[in-house]
Amino acid sequence: MTIELLDLEQRFGAFSVSLSLRAAAGEYLCILGPSGSGKSLLLGLVAGLHPVARGRVQLEGRDVTREPPERRGVGFVFQRVSLFPHLSVAENIEFGLRARGSDREERRQRREELVKDLRLGSLLERPVTALSGGEAQRVAIARALAPRPRTLLLDEPLSLVDHNARLELQQELRRIHAATGVTVLHVTHNRDEARALGQRCAIMLGGRIVQLGSAEAVFSQPRCVFVAHFLGLHDAAPPAVPGCKESCLGGAGRCDRPEAAPPTDEAAA
């Protein structure tokens, strides 16, 4: 499923998101930026969790800007797992299928597929509250995939798990993407995670996309001092450009250079 954000704008108090972005069908696109840059808000706009003031959200060419989340056909995995503690692991996995009215046999078959694919068999009888961070996130991923979404939105899914679990889940996400062809928007502030998973990377600053391209291009050719410093590529930093703000280097900031808006397709990037 293609994802197109066309001249999208929304204000959240004093902060605003203003951007255009396109993810091709089956692409794994990482959105990378510091805390407070608007990454999670962007996912909320795609999912329909926040209204859009201006612009359009299109999924597979269909304008869904005014449609509620349940009609968009996207799966969402949050940073904080938010499994339902009063439901079993199996019931958590089946939750989305129940919501759309799937019968018992369909729910069972789909649950068994996901339990096998994500190696969850040993967890089915355990209370949700007894799961480790990595185990709980694996169940949350299964819950998001159960209704067979064509788009998967991941909001810092690996940030609260330990190092070993993070590496295992990276492998799982890579394998799931290859097996299903689902289009993925993965938000993170971890540059190693973005480089390991993203086919393309979008660097976000102050509610805008300031660089977009293949992961290789972004990490080898940072377009400004902020991007270079954020990626830890100080030796690759281009010369400071007139108009660049020092505030960009210290946090979320905002890039106000008119030419900072990047192209929205790989060929132009």
- pLDDT tens digits, 105-131: 999 999 999 998 888 888 888 888 899
Domain span at residue 100? 3-260
Whether 4 shows a pLDDT value over 50: the answer reads yes
pLDDT in tens, 25-46: 999 999 999 888 999 999 999 9
Domain presence at residue 121: yes
Per-residue pLDDT at 15? 92
Domain presence at residue 247: yes
Residue tagged 């939105």 (tokens): 153
CA distance 217 to 214: 5
Residue type, 44: G
pLDDT in tens, 138-196: 899 999 999 999 899 999 998 888 888 889 899 989 999 998 899 999 999 999 999 99
Domain presence at residue 266: no
Q: Do the Cβ atoms of 72 and 48 come closer than 8 Å?
A: yes
Domain presence at residue 269: no
CATH code (residue 229): 3.40.50.300
Per-residue pLDDT at 209? 93
Chain Cα centroid distance, residue 47: 11
Per-residue pLDDT at 268? 37
Spell out the residues 6+ positions from residue 175 whose beta carbon is closer than 8 angstroms to its own. Answer: none
Residue 211: name the closest of 233, 184, 183 by CA. 233
Domain presence at residue 215: yes
Domain presence at residue 195: yes
The pairing of strands 200-205 and 183-188 is unpaired
The pairing of strands 74-77 and 151-155 is parallel
Domain presence at residue 252: yes
Domain presence at residue 268: no
> Domain tally for the chain?
1
pLDDT in tens, 213-254: 999 999 998 888 888 888 888 776 666 665 666 666 655 456
